[in-house]
Structure 1
Amino acid sequence: MRLTFASLLLGASLLPLGATAAQPNGPWINEQQQVSLEGFMSNAQLYDQLAGLARRSGGSLTLEQAGSSGEGRPIWLARLGQTGNPAVMIITQQHGNEPHGTEAALDLMRKLAAGGAFSRQVLDHLQVIFIPRVNPDGTARASRGNMDFSAPQTSATCLRDDGSVDPQRLDQGLGANVTAYTAENGERRWSYDINRYHWPDWSQSPQILCNPGLADQRHFDPGLNPVPEAVAVRNAYDKYQPMWLVDVHNQNPAVVLDEADPEANRPGRQVTGSIVWPTNAAVAPAAVALSKQMALVMKKRSMQLGNMEITNYYYERPDGSIRRGGGDPGIARNAYALLASERLASGAEGPLGGNILMEITGLNSRGQKSKGMLRNNVREMLEALLVATADGSLLTQDPAETDRLLPPGQEVDEPLDNPHEE
């Protein structure tokens, strides 16, 4: 029997009275309201929460410092489960102004550390690794970048469309993927976008290939990735060799396309989150398949809840063109799938290489008013993925189903209007 979207929502009608207040089209920011980050954890609050969890867990949750940020703040890693179990990994807040994933990760850690039925169901079979805030410096200033303002200020490259090097464009100091920060005085400064610096082989990045004469500078040293936050994630990945990795972000406003299959999404509704898998052509087919199986588990859980609209992160722009998820090898979802692909090619046994980028609707359209709902959306999908991985049902998913269940959303230029206002 083929389930319809409506039938999957029957369970939502059994929620306690009041649960219906958390629905995709509300609550909304009004014109007189300022978006506030005060409801999200500061670095000090996160560190206190992690330390308290570890102290109260009776040893089930352990902390280690994966690295330090450019300004010297600790990047903490939390681990739950036996070291002999297969590892999975969840990272959040590579971009400092995208806080919902960190809140969800803490909720999930609390539940795993509590020792109940869900904890046993997962931790009897898996080792779960969290890096709940990759970018503490950006978080301190609500900035996307890592606040290293020595970063080169352009993203130009010497590479031709076919990937070959144009010798006429060498040593221009180009190739950095950076993001702008506007100071209180209006000055625009540039720092590294951490999620562009997970290159499996940093020496093969355009930044290095395009600047052979600048190797004496930190930004262009083939042996030194200049982004310590990305290095911390890479070192943790190499240490624990996880079966899969999920990277949680926030996204811009989007709506479900009118022509979407109504059994998968409700046309015209606001997208609450998006999912995409590795999009670099060199990623092993087995790694892509595992990633799509992960996406399906998450999507199907969202359909059971009824207060979520989860689409593919391949967006249709307002002009009708499609913004496809980039194939850049430095993006986390590609980089770690490529590393796993190398292991698979060397004879390692799978499943390996699963990687998902999860984008949850961000502050500019929902703000702090939907913090709890959006945080729970992330947690629910991650919980479902952990259970499916632990019990093996993850591997029973048909990757081809992603074409129907995860259509692209449609990007919108501005936050959506409140449909409840006259």
Structure 2
Amino acid sequence: MKKKKAIGYILSSGILAASLGFGATASFAESTTTPNGPWVQDQQYLSFESLMSNEQLEAKLKQIEQSSKGKMKLEQFGTSNDGYPLYVAKLGDNNPAKKRVLVYTQIHGNEPLGTEAAVELIQKLSAGGKEADSILDKVNVWFVPRINPDGTANQYEGKPFPVRYSHQTWNPEEIGLPADTKAPWYYNAEGSERAQNNNGKVVYGIPGFDLNRDFNPNYDFNINDEIKKDPQKVANLLNNNNTNNGSQASFVFSPETRALTKIVKEFDPDVAIDLHHRGFNQLSEDDNRSVSIQLLALFTTKTYVDPFSGKVYKVDPNVETFSKKVNAVAYESLQRGNSSYGAIQKYPQVNYPGSGLGAIQLNGTATMLIEIKGQTQTLGQKQNGMLKETAKVPVMAVLNGLADGSIENADPAVYDAIPDYSLPVNPGGNK
């Protein structure tokens, strides 16, 4: 395994009080009112008009490329199962001496604000200026906005209904496996998603995968090759609950995850940033502030052995330490006064070698999860401007820290001291 200093991010949807200039000092103040409450009501109309459709995203990226005067290069690197193009926006000159940052977003279709924030970051860095130029002088950055366009464009009863999952049907015979072979554990066979405010569920009827469980630390893994060699071995692994679960790497069945894996292998990033959303939490029994983001530095806690090659994967201690430094930088970037934006917890510890950052971290890249509160079924487009800023501030802090080298001086103990996940709040009130 290579040993290198690197970072990965997952960002969700959080809150920031005011739009910040990238070079400005953040100043936060607790809001005194919460019009219509912090989340949508059960019968409230869910509005998504301010969120970019797949077509609008494509047009915006092309417009930024055209106006960037060569600073940003846009390339299609793959296609979703439904036929939507997957794009990577490349910034920098690919000087191998520079740090390399990969930012990818919206692997879950109902988590859109990471994409919205990433596009604004692309525009900022493409436009130039003192801060942008100082970053790109030392760091190459690739953005992959929206890995799950199918889930993003999902509809129910003729209306937009973004969902977590991709659109893809499990058909084992089609890929050379016995007809009774079980689907991967992260397959959503009925095509369902949590209903508004998480009250029950909606069956929209299109099967799909949780793409953030469909990765493998072996970047060269090809399920079709393994099926050709020994289809019964593959079937046995899928049919056994001890080997078909979240503690195991996946078989990379989806075109979206295969495409992203190729990008990761090509770019060999020092930094991988994945932007997500999560639910709602209260900071503590003594502090009723709503948690704005949750952070996590480690995505696998156990050694993983590839059942096909026998290769052993484990997180390098130096990578874990550097991951904590990156998390510390993000944490401190939002600590301004006693606002909700500094109300931060650790995300629950996971062991997911089949997640995007889990697989990447096992290849020597330090990782960081930023989970910012709210999803489309609980927020619609409420607080979009503030939520985007909450994502952008820590990302820019990390980019600046990499560019000027200050991230090396971050204290991993700051991350260790972040309060653990606790006190989830259900917006719908159901148990």
Partner of 1:278: 298
Does the Cα contact within 8 Å between 1:93 and 1:133 map onto a contact in 2? yes
Partner of 2:403: 390
- Per-residue CA deviations over 1:241-263 (Å, capped at 9, x if unaligned) read 1111111111011110125xxxx
Please state if 1:335 is matched with 2:359: yes
Does the Cα contact within 8 Å between 1:254 and 1:271 map onto a contact in 2? yes
Q: In the alignment, which of 241, 256, 265 is matched to residue 238 of structure 1?
A: 265
Please state if 1:77 is matched with 2:92: no
Distance, in Å, in 1 between the alignment partners of 2:256 and 2:80 is: 6
Please state if 1:55 is matched with 2:55: no
Does the Cα contact within 8 Å between 2:323 and 2:366 map onto a contact in 1? yes
Does the Cα contact within 8 Å between 1:271 and 1:409 map onto a contact in 2? no
**How far apart are 1:86 and its partner, in Å?**
2.1
> In the superposition, relative to structure 1, how do residues 400 and 204 fare at CA in structure 2: closer, same or farther (>3 Å)?
farther
**Percent identity for Structure 1 against Structure 2:** 28
> 1:266-345 residue pairs with structure 2 within 5 A?
267-281=287-301, 282-304=314-336, 306-314=339-347, 324-340=348-364
Does the Cα contact within 8 Å between 2:222 and 2:252 map onto a contact in 1? no
Please state if 1:173 is matched with 2:182: yes
- Per-residue CA deviations over 1:66-114 (Å, capped at 9, x if unaligned) read 2111122111001111210221111100001110100000111111111
**How far apart are 1:224 and its partner, in Å?**
6.9
- Per-residue CA deviations over 1:153-206 (Å, capped at 9, x if unaligned) read xxxxxxxxxxxxxxxxxx75243312363499945443111100111138699x
Distance, in Å, in 1 between the alignment partners of 2:345 and 2:31 is: 22
Does the Cα contact within 8 Å between 1:23 and 1:307 map onto a contact in 2? no
Q: Secondary structure at the match of 1:414?
A: coil
- Per-residue CA deviations over 1:137-159 (Å, capped at 9, x if unaligned) read 1111112111113368xxxxxxx
Partner of 1:371: 384
Please state if 1:144 is matched with 2:156: no
> In the superposition, relative to structure 1, how do residues 368 and 416 fare at CA in structure 2: closer, same or farther (>3 Å)?
farther
Does the Cα contact within 8 Å between 1:24 and 1:308 map onto a contact in 2? no
TM-score after normalising by structure 1:
0.75
**How far apart are 1:406 and its partner, in Å?**
4.6
> In the superposition, relative to structure 1, how do residues 196 and 185 fare at CA in structure 2: closer, same or farther (>3 Å)?
closer
Partner of 2:104: 91
Structure 1 unaligned runs (5+)? Answer: 1-8, 153-170, 260-266, 315-323, 341-352, 418-422
Structure 2 unaligned runs (5+)? Answer: 1-16, 155-161, 173-179, 194-200, 240-248, 302-313
Does the Cα contact within 8 Å between 2:331 and 2:415 map onto a contact in 1? no
Give the residue type in structure 2 aligned to 1:128. V
- Per-residue CA deviations over 1:331-367 (Å, capped at 9, x if unaligned) read 1121100012xxxxxxxxxxxx121122111134443
Calculate the aligned-residue CA RMSD, in Å.
Answer: 3.5
Distance, in Å, in 2 between the alignment partners of 1:117 and 1:415 is: 46
Does the Cα contact within 8 Å between 1:273 and 1:360 map onto a contact in 2? yes
Give the residue type in structure 1 aligned to 2:258. V
Distance, in Å, in 2 between the alignment partners of 1:186 and 1:228 is: 24
Name the structure, 1 or 2, with higher relative contact order (CA <8 Å, separation 6+).
2
> In the superposition, relative to structure 1, how do residues 78 and 406 fare at CA in structure 2: closer, same or farther (>3 Å)?
farther
Q: In the alignment, which of 190, 195, 201 is matched to residue 218 of structure 2?
A: 201
Aligned residues: 353
> In the superposition, relative to structure 1, how do residues 21 and 293 fare at CA in structure 2: closer, same or farther (>3 Å)?
closer
Q: Secondary structure at the match of 2:138?
A: coil
Distance, in Å, in 2 between the alignment partners of 1:399 and 1:371 is: 31
Distance, in Å, in 2 between the alignment partners of 1:223 and 1:379 is: 31
Distance, in Å, in 2 between the alignment partners of 1:58 and 1:268 is: 48
> In the superposition, relative to structure 1, how do residues 79 and 19 fare at CA in structure 2: closer, same or farther (>3 Å)?
same
Partner of 2:137: 124
Distance, in Å, in 2 between the alignment partners of 1:82 and 1:271 is: 38
Partner of 1:399: 412
Structure holding more helix per residue: 1
Does the Cα contact within 8 Å between 2:290 and 2:340 map onto a contact in 1? no
**How far apart are 1:390 and its partner, in Å?**
0.8
Does the Cα contact within 8 Å between 2:214 and 2:250 map onto a contact in 1? no
Please state if 1:102 is matched with 2:118: no
Partner of 1:345: none
